[in-house]
């Protein structure tokens, strides 16, 4: 039997393998192909923290090293904190379950855009990403100056990308809403609840919240993140301003922790919801349901043969804040997290009573940021389940090659910038509103005679004309300056500039901002329940279709 085989592993064996793991990771940190600034790793086995170590640097400027207490943002691994917290709350109440309809908790004033979702949507639909509603990545990336009840109110303006419960569509805002559900069930803030119900009982005393780093002097032993880094020492750090949107979205991606605390968190999940003293923090059954595949997740790159020499990871589906699947035939429960330059992964191997957590502080490169995690998690999976390793020092550096070559990302094609706007710059000035996102403001700076935009908490920069009269570009300055420029269609009404339609990538809908819209104005589509599966995109956009990376990029910040 699998479990028997694993538990026969003797302690000296394990010690030797963990020493080999250390050597393996040290080698990984020197791979030419993959410069990593800093890395933190913890491994648990049979209720013990058997490995907790830092590698590389937590800050290139000060040269401080990462240790096993250096704080890293866990990104979307925070989603499992939200589902665990809800499991704790549901576990002690008879009147609510994963399948309670949201309006029974949030009250009759809570609504989605359509009647069907409003009457049917449950906590489970939020947590398993089943609503099919838009993600509003623009709002997420730029940040919104609202609280969680404000977000709950704005939910009625979120349009559908897919019909209800038909397609897995990852959604950060709905996890924040789930966090708000916990607030409404208890009358306490999410911040206080998570600390009282999960972090304190588990002894996760170093664990904090990302937005709090902005206060005072920030945290001590906190890793700086990097967008770019190479061995010549050239690097581009992220701005801490990027943490501001995470105040609202703590339940979706704002937890900050270290290797030792995350080991406590893994032991909690592997022990059926117990703290280190064996006391039940969350009912075992309720917690187990969060680990169980509930909905078929969008196909990711499943690491099945023929590419790979072993079954290196298969997805079964998404649970409640967890991706359930297998690795080399063993059950694996996993979640990744990307936030403000931190990239993390947590894997539980329940049959082996073990788990591994890793996080890096940069550089952020799509794919590359997740390779290092996959390599280490595979290695630890092999150790925990008693299998021979299929990666060696050479292939650990070349991974995913020689087995698979990552396709080059499609380059962003933006329209050419022109010298002049087709109309007076003052015509563009104004406040443009969107019910779900908030206001976008355009102002003319009379000193330098340039148009500037501002969106949300941290979105700001230049407005530029293009060779197309009805298309402008936004180029971010400040904390989001690394984001590629993004475009908008300019709509007119009575000869005046009236609307700005932000293009999105194919998985999201274009976002329309209208001049002078007050957030209290009725949404033009609101009077009737909105039942149409098709959301009208901006008019006349067929001629220009840009491969668009901005939303994709922001979406990456939190994706699984």
**Site residues, ligand NAG (CB under 6 A):** 49, 52, 67-68, 230-232, 234, 392, 394-395, 407, 409-410, 431, 433, 438-439, 445, 447-448, 516, 518-519
What percent of the chain is helix, strand and coil (3-state, nearest 5)? Answer: 30, 25, 45
- Taking the least distance from each CB to ligand NAG, the nearer of 273 and 438 is 438
Cα maximum dimension of the chain: 80
- Taking the least distance from each CB to ligand NAG, the nearer of 234 and 543 is 234
- Taking the least distance from each CB to ligand NAG, the nearer of 8 and 61 is 61
CA distance linking residue 121 with residue 102, whole number of Å: 6
CB of 366 to ligand NAG, least distance (A): 9
CB of 234 to ligand NAG, least distance (A): 4
Positive/negative CA dihedral, 461, 463, 464, 467: positive
Residue by residue, DSSP assigns 32-51 as: TT---SEEEEEEEETTEEEE
The helix (run of H) or strand (run of E) holding residue 514 is strand 511-515
- Taking the least distance from each CB to ligand NAG, the nearer of 186 and 228 is 228
Give the pair of three-digit tokens for residue 103: 């309006």
CA distance linking residue 82 with residue 346, whole number of Å: 15
CA angle 203, 175, 334 (to 5 degrees): 60
Determine whether 350 is exposed, middle or buried from the number of CB atoms within 10 Å of its CB (0-12, 13-18, 19+). middle
Q: Is 248 left (phi over 0), alpha (psi -120 to 50) or beta?
A: alpha
- Taking the least distance from each CB to ligand NAG, the nearer of 49 and 344 is 49
Q: How many CB atoms lie within 10 A of CB 456?
A: 22
Asked whether 356 and 335 are in contact (CB, 8 A), the reply is no
- Taking the least distance from each CB to ligand NAG, the nearer of 12 and 407 is 407
- Position of tokens 């969008």? 298
CB of 453 to ligand NAG, least distance (A): 12
Give the pair of three-digit tokens for residue 508: 């999201």
- Taking the least distance from each CB to ligand NAG, the nearer of 32 and 95 is 32
Give φ, ψ of 32 to 5 degrees. Answer: -60, -40
Q: Hey, is 308 helix, strand or coil? A: coil
- Taking the least distance from each CB to ligand NAG, the nearer of 130 and 136 is 136
- Taking the least distance from each CB to ligand NAG, the nearer of 107 and 516 is 516
- Taking the least distance from each CB to ligand NAG, the nearer of 50 and 181 is 50
CB of 340 to ligand NAG, least distance (A): 21
- Encode 127-185 in three state secondary structure: HCCCCCECCCHHHHHHCCCCCHHHHHHHHHHCCECCCCCCCCCCCHHHHHHHHHHHHHH
CB of 151 to ligand NAG, least distance (A): 13
CB of 349 to ligand NAG, least distance (A): 19
CA distance linking residue 290 with residue 86, whole number of Å: 10
CB of 461 to ligand NAG, least distance (A): 12
Cis peptide leading into residue 512 (ω within 30°): no
Q: Hey, is 84 helix, strand or coil? A: helix
Asked whether 338 and 560 are in contact (CB, 8 A), the reply is no
Give the pair of three-digit tokens for residue 446: 């009379």
CB of 197 to ligand NAG, least distance (A): 25
CA distance linking residue 425 with residue 72, whole number of Å: 44
CB of 53 to ligand NAG, least distance (A): 6
Give φ, ψ of 455 to 5 degrees. Answer: -140, 120
- Taking the least distance from each CB to ligand NAG, the nearer of 22 and 196 is 22
CB of 283 to ligand NAG, least distance (A): 29
CB of 515 to ligand NAG, least distance (A): 8
CB of 116 to ligand NAG, least distance (A): 29
- Taking the least distance from each CB to ligand NAG, the nearer of 232 and 542 is 232
CB of 531 to ligand NAG, least distance (A): 28
- Taking the least distance from each CB to ligand NAG, the nearer of 49 and 172 is 49
């Amino acid at each position: 039997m699998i479990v028997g085989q694993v538990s026969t592993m003797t302690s000296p064996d394990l010690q030797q393998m963990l020493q080999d793991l250390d050597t393996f990771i040290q080698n990984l940190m020197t791979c030419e192909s993959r410069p990593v600034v800093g890395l933190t790793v913890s491994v648990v086995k049979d209720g013990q923290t058997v490995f907790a170590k830092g590698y590389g640097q937590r800050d290139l400027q000060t040269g401080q090293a990462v240790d096993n207490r250096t704080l890293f943002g866990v990104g979307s691994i925070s989603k499992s904190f939200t589902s665990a917290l809800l499991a704790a709350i549901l576990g002690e109440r008879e009147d609510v379950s994963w399948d309670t309809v949201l309006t029974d908790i949030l009250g009759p004033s809570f609504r989605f855009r359509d009647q069907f979702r409003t009457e049917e949507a449950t906590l489970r639909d939020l947590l398993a990403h089943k609503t099919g509603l838009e993600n509003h990545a623009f709002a997420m990336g730029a940040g919104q100056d609202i609280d969680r009840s404000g977000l709950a109110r704005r939910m009625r303006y979120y349009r559908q990308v897919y019909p209800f419960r038909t397609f897995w569509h990852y959604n950060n805002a709905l996890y924040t809403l789930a966090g708000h559900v916990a607030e409404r069930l208890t009358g306490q803030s999410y911040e206080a609840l998570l600390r009282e119900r999960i972090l304190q009982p588990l002894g996760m005393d170093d664990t904090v919240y990302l937005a709090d780093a902005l206060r005072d002097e920030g945290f001590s032993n906190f890793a700086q993140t990097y967008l770019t880094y190479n061995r010549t020492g050239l690097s581009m750090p992220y701005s801490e301003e990027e943490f501001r949107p995470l105040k609202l979205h703590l339940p979706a991606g704002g937890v900050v922790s270290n290797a030792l605390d995350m080991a406590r968190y893994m032991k909690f999940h592997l022990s059926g919801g117990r703290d280190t003293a064996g006391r039940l923090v969350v009912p075992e059954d309720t917690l187990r349901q969060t680990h169980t595949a509930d909905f078929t997740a969008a196909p990711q790159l499943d690491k099945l043969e023929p590419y790979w020499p072993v079954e290196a990871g298969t997805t079964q589906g998404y649970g409640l804040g967890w991706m359930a699947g297998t690795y080399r035939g063993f059950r694996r429960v996993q979640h990744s997290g990307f936030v403000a330059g931190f990239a993390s992964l947590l894997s539980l191997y329940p049959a082996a009573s073990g788990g591994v957590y890793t996080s890096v502080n940069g550089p952020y490169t799509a794919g590359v940021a997740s390779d290092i995690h996959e390599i280490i998690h595979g290695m630890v999976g092999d150790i925990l389940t008693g299998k021979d390793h299929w990666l060696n020092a050479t292939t650990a550096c070349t991974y995913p090659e020689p087995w698979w070559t990552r396709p080059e990302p499609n380059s962003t094609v933006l329209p050419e910038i022109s010298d002049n706007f087709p109309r007076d710059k003052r015509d563009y000035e104004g406040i443009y509103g969107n019910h779900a996102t908030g206001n976008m403001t355009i102002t003319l700076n009379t000193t330098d005679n340039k148009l500037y935009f501002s969106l949300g908490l941290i979105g700001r920069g230049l407005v530029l004309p293009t060779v197309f009269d009805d298309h402008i570009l936004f180029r971010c300055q400040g904390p989001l300056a690394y984001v590629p420029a993004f475009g908008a269609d300019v709509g007119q009404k009575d000869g005046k500039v009236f609307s700005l339609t932000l293009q999105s990538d194919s998985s999201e809908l274009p976002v329309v901002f209208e001049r002078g819209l007050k957030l209290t104005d009725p949404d033009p589509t609101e009077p009737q329940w909105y039942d149409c599966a098709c959301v009208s995109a901006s008019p006349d956009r067929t001629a220009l279709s840009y491969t668009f990376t901005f939303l994709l990029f922001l979406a990456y910040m939190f994706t699984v």
